[in-house]
Structure 1
Amino acid sequence: MSARNVKTSSSDSPREEGDDFKTPYAIEAPETQIDTSLEPAYVVDHHAERALCRRFDLRLLPVLALMYLFNALDKGNLGNAKTAKFDKDLGFKSNQYNIILSVFYVPYVLFAPPIAMLGKKYGPARVLPILMFCFGSMTMLSVTAHNFGGMMALRWFLGTAESAFFPLVIYYLTTFYRRGELARRLAIFYAASNIANAFSGLLAFGVFHIHNPHIYSWRILFLIEGSLTVLFAVLAFFYLPKNAADARFLNEDEKKLAYHRIQADSSSVVNEQFDLRDSLKIFRQPTTYAFLAIEMCLGVPLQSVNLFLPQIIARLKYSTVKTNLYTVAPNITGAVMLLILAFTSDFTRRRGPFIVLGFTFTFVGMIIYSAIDVEDSLHVAYFATFLMCWGTSAPSVLLSTWYNNNIPHEGRRITMTSVGVPLANVMGLVSSNIFFPSSAPKYIPALATTAAFGATGAVIAGLLSLFMIVDNKRRDKKLGRKLDIKEVPTEMLKDGPDVPEFRWFL
């Protein structure tokens, strides 16, 4: 018997221990023995749900998107500054510019898990603005750097401050949205990264027109970006709601509905206390290592494009100012492609195929740019940079969404994200050390290496998606029928694949 035969009561409030409370949904038990004493993984009033999501969208997404825009600006502005010869102004020698890029990723990986765990304990709504204030301050202080050592120290602390930012934003959004609603919201947030790269090019285009004999133009760029970040961090600290159940802009009925939605289709226990030992159990699951392998393969194309797109486009032999301007269109279309793939992914409730498609875009773009004679095919070469941008953003968003969709346990979810996202970013160590000055302006070895990582990521993502399809069919066969995941409340799925009723979100 289907769990869609539902009788509703007038209350949508969640059941709590000790309350004299009746479940608002009475479900006829299916023929197989599944515990249906708990609430089903959906609510009946879809109109109220849509209205609630719109309120979350309007309240959260613009602010989070702007926060991530500043995050991406402060992390990736060295590429623009280098086109204004900041490395020569600071007296860099040999491969010291590559070292400056690389040192960022060491604290980025080391400090992401502990800071993310602190974010879980004290609340991302408070920790995120504090991190933002810190990395904005590091960007402002870059104006005071006068040598290699000073800039390296600032990049170290910048990496520390930015380490847990993206993992905490992902976790924060999972406390407001259902699994099937997450990808497109995360994509809107993450599109700010592409917009930031485009805006950074436009900002650099404008700033580098300033000719002041007393201050280098790249210092003005750092000062503007850093000061805007710090000011917005103060605003965000007082603006972001702690969680859905405590949001001041919701009435009591909306708070109850928000709590129920997450309890039913996101977290096994809403706002659970962080338990490190229990959270580390995520590393007992074999699929965890497949996800981490894909993150590693994703990291090289992602960081290669983020860090070196101005240098790649410089091969087209435009002026310094025009080179920064020409980074805008690929990044803007990358944001558009990200939104298309994410919305389609939510609509089809599939992650794996769109991750594979994203990797394929990057692979093709890198191969085209490596294989052609750029001087004779400028338009084709420039189109290849569009493919590079199309294929880097979408897999990052969808991969993070994919494993968050498959981890009902909040502690394990933040632990996985705090390891997976920095792991992708630490692959910037590879990216920053394959674009050697000696291989400029063609960078053939770097482009070939990046393409190889993209191809490997596509293969692993495809195989993992196939495994999930087969495993879901195996579980249905053992059950004796096809199980609709909406029949099973997330509260039952705390232990993930170890639970017979668990089904992979493909």
Structure 2
Amino acid sequence: MDSKLDEKSSVSEKNVALSPHGELYRPEVNTDGIEEKKLMRRIDLHIIPWLAILYFLNFMDRGNIGNAKLYGMTADINVSDTQYLIALTVYFFPYALFEPASNVALRRLRPSIWLSSMMFLWGVIMICHGFIQNYGGLVTVRVLLGVTEAGMYPGIVFVISSWYKRAELATKVAYFFSSATISGAFSGLLSVAIHNMNDVGGLKSWRWIFILEGLLTVVVAGLSFWMIQDYPETAKFLSEEERVFVIRRLQDDVRLSAAGEKFKKKYIRQSLKDWKTWVAMGIYMGFDGPLYAFSLFLPTIISKANLLTVPPYAWGCITTIAVGIIGDRIGTRYYMSLRNIDAKSYPGAAGYIILIVSRNAALSYFAVFLAASAIYPSIRKYQSAWVGGNVEGAYKRGVTLGMAIGWGNINGAVTSNIYRSADSPWYTMGHGIVLAYIGIGLISVTLMRVGLQRENASRDRGERDEIIDGINNKRADVKNGHYPSIEAARLDKGDDWSGFRYIL
């Protein structure tokens, strides 16, 4: 093995976290007395639960329009089925458009400020939903909701990726994303309870759904200014030694940006030029389309009985957490992602095939469980952990996640139009389109796996080796860059660095 590879290995074997200048991060701080497992459990309690609450409300507020429709919203404001579908569609365009920019703003400000402000605004917009009188009002509040909710999910993933190693991301994302399934179940239960408030204060029950859920969001937004933890280097609940320990831990995982990174336009260019960004967009397209189709129309699909939506969501929550834990223990994102798509191709996609051909309500309800067990485990956890874990550099990771998730979300504009009243009660066309999206997800995940595997092999052969001053490496090529040290190459190139290995 050549001297360059020997030096790379020694960095890993000694478990030494280096700064951009080749020194141990904060060498004056002694972290020998810190228990890693105990510290990470404390970090889990400070980071994950509150982020799960934010996403719980985010998902509930965007989807409660389906429950409002069941309780007479469209009739009361004289909105046709076509107009209702258009109102669902317009939400996704600003939502997707602002996601990449939102992640850049989040990094330049602070998550506690950006995410809380965003949440407060969408809570106000949600309350405004309760006072709309016509189609124009409905379209307006849906567009504004898309603007104000944009960036919440990629922002949460970005924050989590700033605290944990790459191999830990799937489980952490699974825990917070499980709140989406809980929100679906809770929203159904809550809407049934709120329906009893019909005509209270002269307002219909569907108006109270928006008003009360919006008020809850505003209250949580106010608390979030203090509850959201920003980054390890600024966390007040950690001691100085613990902050240093966490940053060194991340840098050992080739997260050199963990110690802080100044914004440069080149990080955005790096994301745009990276093939992984574009394949990731296909992955999210293939999974987000079915997600929105499922969540927006589940009450309609299962014959307008809100209480019956609770068990499928509960099952989706269980499978989401279970598969997340298994995935991190196995350590292979692709096979778990592929297994989940296969879960769609077998129990999952078989569920959609059943929905297409079934003309029996009980059989169709069973198929909904199969669909939930496939959609929720594979939508976000592995794609977020896989994509976020394979992109180094805080700003580049933020832009890549924003673009991929944004593109995935804009496909909600398509799937929000596939379940038409004219196709009731079996919605054959809608189920068929969901199957097509599943196929796109499968192809994209496979392309990502093959591409990452080939790139790792190229790096193992030395084809990506940079010229490093003071190191005699015959395989180094100036086209890969010329740097004064390995640490300088790592900092400048991020995941393009020859020593970076992708998680498969």
TM-score grouping bracket, smaller chain normalisation: 0.7 to 0.9
Measure the CA separation in 1 of the matches of 2:254 and 2:421. 47
- For the 8 Å contact 1:125–1:237, the answer to whether it is kept is yes
Measure the CA separation in 1 of the matches of 2:11 and 2:111. 36
For 1:45-444, what aligned pairs fall within 5 Å after superposition?
48-212=35-199, 214-265=202-253, 267-270=255-258, 271-314=260-303, 320=304, 323-360=305-342, 361=344, 362-375=348-361, 378=362, 380-395=363-378, 396-444=380-428
Measure the CA separation in 2 of the matches of 1:257 and 1:445. 54
- For the 8 Å contact 1:201–1:324, the answer to whether it is kept is yes
Distance 1:121 1:455, change over 3 A: same
Measure the CA separation in 2 of the matches of 1:302 and 1:5. 40
Q: CA offsets per residue over residues 333-378 of structure 1, 9 Å max, x none? A: 1111111111111112211122222233242221121122224xx1
Measure the CA separation in 1 of the matches of 2:51 and 2:388. 18
- How much does 1:240 deviate? 2.0
Structure 2: give runs of 5+ residues left out of the alignment: 1-5, 464-485
Task: Give the 4+ runs in structure 1 shifted more than 3 A.
Answer: 1-8, 12-24, 43-47, 488-491
Residue number in structure 1 paired with 2:482: none
Letter of the 1:501 counterpart: G
Range that drifts further, 155-164 or 289-298: 289-298
Range that drifts further, 107-116 or 63-72: 107-116
For 1:444-455, what aligned pairs fall within 5 Å after superposition?
444-455=428-439
* Equivalent residues, number: 468
Measure the CA separation in 2 of the matches of 1:342 and 1:490. 35
Letter of the 2:425 counterpart: P
Range that drifts further, 445-454 or 284-293: 284-293
Residue number in structure 2 paired with 1:502: 500
Measure the CA separation in 2 of the matches of 1:473 and 1:232. 47
- For the 8 Å contact 1:202–1:328, the answer to whether it is kept is yes
TM-align CA RMSD: 2.7
Measure the CA separation in 2 of the matches of 1:222 and 1:180. 39
* SS of residue matched to 1:416: helix
Distance 1:470 1:6, change over 3 A: closer
Measure the CA separation in 2 of the matches of 1:294 and 1:20. 38
Measure the CA separation in 2 of the matches of 1:248 and 1:281. 32
Measure the CA separation in 2 of the matches of 1:465 and 1:113. 24
Distance 1:88 1:264, change over 3 A: same
- How much does 1:416 deviate? 0.7
- For the 8 Å contact 1:356–1:457, the answer to whether it is kept is no
- For the 8 Å contact 1:310–1:327, the answer to whether it is kept is yes
- For the 8 Å contact 1:65–1:190, the answer to whether it is kept is yes
Letter of the 1:415 counterpart: V
Identity level (%): 28
- For the 8 Å contact 1:183–1:345, the answer to whether it is kept is yes
> What TM-score comes out, normalization by structure 1 length?
0.86
Measure the CA separation in 1 of the matches of 2:491 and 2:455. 16
- For the 8 Å contact 2:257–2:491, the answer to whether it is kept is no
Distance 1:75 1:121, change over 3 A: same
- For the 8 Å contact 1:493–1:501, the answer to whether it is kept is no
- For the 8 Å contact 1:132–1:161, the answer to whether it is kept is yes
- How much does 1:257 deviate? 0.4
Range that drifts further, 66-75 or 470-479: 470-479
- For the 8 Å contact 1:265–1:489, the answer to whether it is kept is no
Measure the CA separation in 1 of the matches of 2:448 and 2:25. 42
- How much does 1:387 deviate? 1.8
